[in-house]
Amino acid sequence: MPNVQRVSVIGAGTMGAGIAQVFAQSGIDVTLIDVSEEVLDRGFAGIEKSLSRLVKKEKMTEEGKSTAMARIKKAGNASDAAGSDLVVEAINENAELKKKVWREVAAVVSDDTILASNTSSISITELAAVVPGPNRYIGMHFMNPVPIMKLVEVIRGLTTDDATTEATLDLCKKLGKIPVEVNDYPGFVANRILMPMINEAAYCLIEGVATKDGIDDVMKLGMAHPMGPLALADLIGVDICLNIMEVLHRDLGDSKYRPCPLLKKMVAAGHLGRKSGRGFYEYGE
């Protein structure tokens, strides 16, 4: 396995930008790739804002911020991942789109480049099957917000080898993260447990068991959760929650994973949470 000195992150949304920031802060050069120049610019602005908050809190110097930003460069095509020791994909939760990207990446990187997906629910084994050398393919599921949350689920697919797994676990530690190795099952651990809770909270809301504030307060005050499940759904993205529930329902075949109709209605209405300004709650600019 290569000594990771250069990383490419594909997808400059909230997760991709956060992942790029963490690598840059750890002294690793990053190419942040997105087909949308607007998304790239927004991702860069988000990284700069995040680092500025660290400076304001005196957790980083202005020089440290400038050095970290200088380690990140923008690019617009998957082919720009050439020369990377590690490629992390953090695009939309769409299996076919991910496979298309991975075919493009595999055509330009070396045979020993580690290939990692930040997918929150799609099978690592399925994605690995489209690249040569699926033994070097693995899941790195970072949590949102990436610069703050310590956990990384490291998902081992059916074909992932020991060397790739160990190299990925070691890298997570160098990033200041706490990796937890899990196997490739729908939703892995985090979302197999979390998403049904959010889904059930949505059912409680439409059945009139309690108000949205009441549901969230019960979980915060009674279960010591830092955030209620409905507020958390807004942070994650209601569309992402629905997508993951659909994957769980389809792949595990159990009716207990049936997505709440309210999630479907909200997505259809464009009420996606914080990113759209409205979800279970409303958000200002």
As a whole number of angstroms, the distance between CA 38 and CA 161 comes to 37
Which DSSP letter does residue 157 get? -
135 is catalytic: no
Instruction: Verify whether residue 121 is a known catalytic residue.
Output: no
Q: Which residues, listed in sequence order, are joined to residue 204 by a DSSP beta bridge?
A: none
Catalytic residue among 191, 199, 243, 271: 191
Query: Are β-strands 137-142 and 151-156 bridged in parallel, bridged antiparallel, or unpaired?
Result: antiparallel
The verdict on whether 141 is a catalytic residue reads yes
Question: Residues 84, 117, 121, 153: which is the catalytic one?
Answer: 153
Which residue among 8, 50, 117, 120 is the active-site one? 120
In contact, 47 and 20? CB cutoff 8 Å: yes
- The span from the CA of 276 to the CA of 52, in Å, is 24
**Strands of the sheet with 178-183, listed across from one edge:** 72-75, 29-33, 6-10, 86-89, 114-117, 137-142, 151-156, 178-183
Choose the catalytic residue: 50, 93, 141, 271. 141
191 flagged as catalytic: yes
Residues noted as catalytic: 120, 141, 153, 191
